[in-house]
A and B are shown apart, each in its own frame.
Chain A
């Protein structure tokens, strides 16, 4: 049933958007876990790269 949102008569309301027609758990479960997985990978790569640069820089100083 289409309910007209008084604040946004021409658009879908936020709660309707988040509910994804009743499939919110599946849709946001997909997008959320994907975002977390990519964030973890990016943070891990940044940490690994920084550690490698730090170690090499220290080795250079003591040479």
Chain B
């Protein structure tokens, strides 16, 4: 099976159905392990006390909110460059999950900000750019719903997604470029992490869980999108109900 065949919805549909439960299962196991580390093993923070435990979902959710958008932009570029249906469907399948992750990052950030900074919200660069990211996800959903022809919607959403990607480095570097209430990165690719090893491990395990969860949900959603959009195609008609579910 080569890449060209794999980019066909008819080939990808059963593959997605086989892979999704595995990603979901491993995500659940890692989620339980991560929560165990987060609550049973990780020590109390000497400055913040127990409230710091919000970090175990806040940081993975914030990472995923940005990463999912970049993956969407990647699929959007492929969709525009090669006019491939499946690329656009993959981008479409990621949007709701990206919005959920962004919402979780903002929500947990607010609940963390109140006891540590004294406010749920501030219009600083990090929080404002993350809020713009949420509106970008909503914008892509709204744009798709506003256009009846799916192929035209693909192109419009791809353009919006790619243009909006400029917001991602702004979010990431906002804590360096501006004087923000939000703290700088505790974990980066260029410097040693400034947190205890157990805390870091818990955060990374839950980040991996969030990553696999995203893949599983996106695969299930892309199956629905494929069926919704390829309705009437002969390969779907030839597939019996049982195979459709199992595959």
A: residues with CB less than 8 A from B are 17, 20-23, 26-27, 29-31, 33-34, 37-38, 41-42, 44-46, 48-49, 51-53, 55-57, 59-60, 63
Contact = CB atoms under 8 A, between A and B. Distances in A.
A60 B241 CA distance: 9
A61 to B, nearest CB: 9
B44 A21 contact: yes
Given A26-B112, A26-B115, A52-B224, A60 B213 contact: no
Given A30-B111, A33-B107, A55-B231, A45 B221 contact: yes
B108 A34 contact: yes
B104 A60 contact: no
B220 A49 contact: yes
Q: Which 5 A-B pairs have the closest CB atoms?
A: A23-B51, A52-B227, A21-B50, A20-B50, A57-B241
Contacts of B39: 17
A53 B107 contact: no
A29 B221 contact: no
**Contact-size category for B:** 35 or more
Contact of A23 (B50, B96, B237): B50
Interface string B76-96: 000000000000000000001
Given A34-B61, A34-B104, A49 B224 contact: yes
Contacts of B241: 53, 57, 60
27 contacts: A17-B39, A21-B44, A21-B49, A23-B50, A26-B112, A26-B114, A27-B50, A27-B53, A27-B54, A30-B54, A30-B58, A30-B107, A30-B108, A33-B104, A34-B57, A38-B213, A44-B96, A48-B221, A49-B223, A51-B224, A52-B227, A55-B227, A57-B240, A59-B232, A59-B236, A59-B237, A63-B237
B111 A29 contact: yes
Interface of A is mostly: helix
Contacts of B237: 59-60, 63
A11 B241 CA distance: 53
Contacts of B227: 49, 52-53, 55-56
Contacts of A33: 104, 107-108
Nearest to B210: A38
Contacts of B104: 33-34, 37
